[in-house]
Structure 1
Amino acid sequence: MGFGRPLARHRRRVAAIAFLAVIGWAMLVQANGWLATRSIIATVPQGENILRLAVSGLRGELARHERLPDLMSRAPVLTAALRPDPGRADIAAANLYLRHVARLMGLSDAYIMTPDGRTVAASNFDQSLSFVGEVFDYRPYFADALAGGQGRFFALGTTSGKRGYYFGAAVRDRGRVLGVLALKVDVDAIEDSWRAAEYEMIVTDSEGIVFLASRRDWQFRSLAPLTDAARARIAATRRYDDAPLDMLPLQPAGEVGDNPLLRLERPGARREFVTVAEAMPEAGWTVQVLLDTAPARRQALMASVAGMLILWAGPAGLMAWAQRRARLRERLSIQAEAQAQLEGRVAARTAELAEVNARLEAEVEERRATEAELRRTQRHLVQSAKLAALGQMSAALSHELSQPLGAVRNFAANAVTYLDRDRVPDARQNVTRILSLTDRMTEIGRTLRNFARKPNAALSDVDLHDVLRDALEVIAWRIGKRPVTLDVDLPPGPLLVRAGPVRFQQVIVNLLSNALDALEGQEDAVIRLRAEAGPERVVLTVSDNGPGIPEGLDDRIFDPFFSTKGVGAGLGLGLSISFNIVKDFGGELRLLRQPEGAAFQIDLPRAEVSS
């Protein structure tokens, strides 16, 4: 409830700011439009100055050559060349005279024609595009001059392909017209002086066709669609030869004052121009200057934005001050409310802490009693651990001695049988084996003194063939009782590893015994022993085709007292003891997964063979 009024005031302020922003935007648009019109009108005098200079330049260029045709037409050398059947010397003299005057006066071309329009001498007589022999009777300047008047015409040369302004004058001999003199003035230099970024300039003829322009791609294009009659008139005089005379992409866009606006649409660009025009009736031309309105519009936009900023600076400052005062009042109100809430929370928290202290005192007393009971329990656990260690040691000794004892019993029974049959050598051999097994049991007792491990026991170079032979001799009494195929594959020659011979034999006996237990009752039982020798390691694999190790027991298979056999079938210490023995040798005992049966791999460091 306390925040409702500030939120309502905030919404009202936002609505007022939005309303003022809309009004300000409308005012900015109106002001920008008005200022843009004023700015564009202000550029018109600049365009008029440019236009006056351009018109003066064109008139000056035309006036500079206006009297030249009359003066040249009186030259006797031209009269001689236009008489019937002139000599070759007369034609050559006329050619040289025309070339000399053209170079001297800066003319594009100068030539004389007979009354039928055929050119007999020209300033470009020695060039590839010479006018000599060409017929120009279709040009208006020829017809006007032949009739006794002044020939004036702007056109695109049909032979040279260059634009020019043509002057024509009749060549007379004693009052009789012998032919026409034509002078062509090049206007490219004037056009090149019009190149500027802020304006464009065009000159149109009486048909509205642009023949001079500051942009070359605007030349020979019309401002409005041409009628069929206009195209026929242009074709009759071949004024622009074969130019297509397409329309310029200039569209009317209104007016500013008395000056029209034109918009130029181009791919990727759009420009707007204000037009200033002046007619040249003496030549039948109209000169137009197109001023780009973009600078004026940018200036108007900057002025509008600056004016709006100045106009709204005062109200914006007042609104900011008022908003700051409102926020200060809201902050003070919120602080007072928060302080009241904080005081209530402190009182409630104090009461809670007193209650918690009382509970902690009771818990301390309970903890002291628990610690005393824990100490008593620890003493019982230590005693239990000692008993468990003794049990584990006894189980280990029982497991490791069961295999040799079975072999001793088997050899002793065989020795008695040999003695009854008076086979003393065989009996003596069995007794020798019994003595060897007795020594082995003594060694096992020593090695299992510390839970079947003795990390500091000395290692030696042991031949894998001897160890495997002794291990098979120990386990032979179990193998002979059932149909088991023993498949042994060892590399030939000595295969030395770093190990303890008795303990290594103990590991192999444990793995073979486990394989025999797994193959109990299986008809096609097979036990395989494979050895692979590398440069630094020797790997022995013991596998069978029994039921294998169930999935999910890989991490527990080497734990003490863990067994997959039934109750009373084993203590679960064989793999644990073997794993630790191989680890003492610097090797590794691991379980291998295979499609059928179980497989264990012994990986030991290889001993170097002395040469």
Structure 2
Amino acid sequence: MSRRWLYLALPPFLLVVAGFVLVQLFLELDEDAIDRKAAERLTLYRQTILGEYQKYRYLPYMIARDPRATSALGLGQPVESANRFLEEMALNSGVELLYVMNSEGTTLAASNWREELSLVGRNYGFRPYFKSAIQGEEGSFFAIGATSDEPGLFLARPTPVSGAPIGVAVVKVDMGPLEEAWAEGGETVFASDANGVIFLSSQPDWRYRTLFELPDEVRETIEATRQYAGRELNPVSDQSLRAHQQISIDGKAFRHNAAEVGLLGWQLHFLVPVEEARRSVLPIWAVTITLCLIYAVIVLVLRGRRLRKASALLRQESAGLKELNTRLVEEIQERRRVERELLEAQRGLARSSRLAAVGEMSAAVVHELSQPLSALRMFVAGTRKFLEKGDTSTAAENLDEIDSLQMRMASLTQELKRFARPGESRIEKIDLRESVRVAEKIVRPRFEETGVMLDLDLPEEPLEAETAPLRIEQILVNLLRNGADATAGEEQGVVTLRAQRKNGQVIMQISDNGPGIPEDLRERIFDPFFSTKASSGGMGLGLAISIRLAEDLGGDLSVRANAPKGALFELHVPALTDDAAGGDLLPEAKPEAAE
């Protein structure tokens, strides 16, 4: 069977291979033809540039020799006759500007002396063409005019032409007509300087972009000479341009060829869209696909005949399939019966899990009641002493605290009822600083008993949150009591509670300078019935209850080492957003989990 399919697939495979070979062959032929055309066009464009250069190359030499133009150099100041002469020469020769500079680079005579942007009196000693000419060499430099902001080719010669130079004669040639001729030709061509900056282009958007990312030192040189008047000079392509390479510019693929422009040190680039190099690809693949389709039709016709013969055999086998289907139906019914029994077993397991959860919550409530009861006993003892002394006002304050504690214990007992029978509880908008102060009152007797100092570091602005205040107080009481117990044996035990708002969260850090929690025990510290209080008889439920309450409120509780010693517990509670703070009515909380 597999060998037969191999034989059937062999003809179209050979057709595709032949098409691929032909495509590669014609691609190479088309690319060679494009490269030959590019070489011819580059030669033509190069001769055009050199012709423009040779056309005006003599002019600065003639100006440097003519005393009518250089008379201002002898006087050391602008001369109107020199300006008029240069103006007439520029008009007759067709150049954009003619001007003469002294040895310091200051222009003493210029053909545009009548215009508002006259070059007379301006210093261009920073230009490379001036530096070359004042050293007795011929200077050429393409740049954007520092005064006119118009680009052009600057040609310079020293004056006098022999002996020590005392000035420089300069011609500025407008290359715009040449660039317009490129654009009218409909071809993609551009020129770049020695630094890789495109300054002439048939595509205006590519002008003053670069062939590659310029190094910092090159950018500094360009800025120092003001060559391109602060243009950004961003790369024209993500890849460096090299001859005979396919490149992508502005999302369009081109075949790239380049040639050097002698004398000026420029490079000329000619681009041809890749589509022109693939004109032969579509016809070849069209013929190949057509032949494959014809072959497929023939194979399908022959295969149809064989399928009709096979259908008779399938009808004979249908009887056996019906019997197999009957057995499958019986197996499905048996599986459904087993699934129903499994569902009943899962429901029983859920009821057992619920009872276990109620037992765990009961132990947690007993643990939590022991804390306010301890405080209650101390408040009662204090009240009696104050009554014996006749201090009724302080006794009344203690009675208020006792009343608050009994309300707290009553609320705690309701948690077991809500856990066993889910209901709706109301979330309040509170200032968490008040919750801290309530927790501080509850644990204050424990701190006085152990001699540990409690330091509260609370911000002046409110720490508003939509949460359950009783649960926040439960968490804080557990953490503060644990801190007091941990630092009881220290000479100067200190427990610090800091609170702040950060990134939409209220963060409360409870740290101590006790012995700390060993690293290998930190992962188990939040497990139920796990305690590090070997001598105090702790049940190990406080932290387990605290982390569960924090998660129910949408926050979290974590522990890490404190510096230089001790432990640091960090409680995160979602802060009240600005939108929520603007409303008066607070939303109802979701029903509490039953497991």
For the superposition of Structure 1 and Structure 2, which TM-score range results when normalised by the shorter chain? 0.3 to 0.5
Which has more radius of gyration?
A: 1
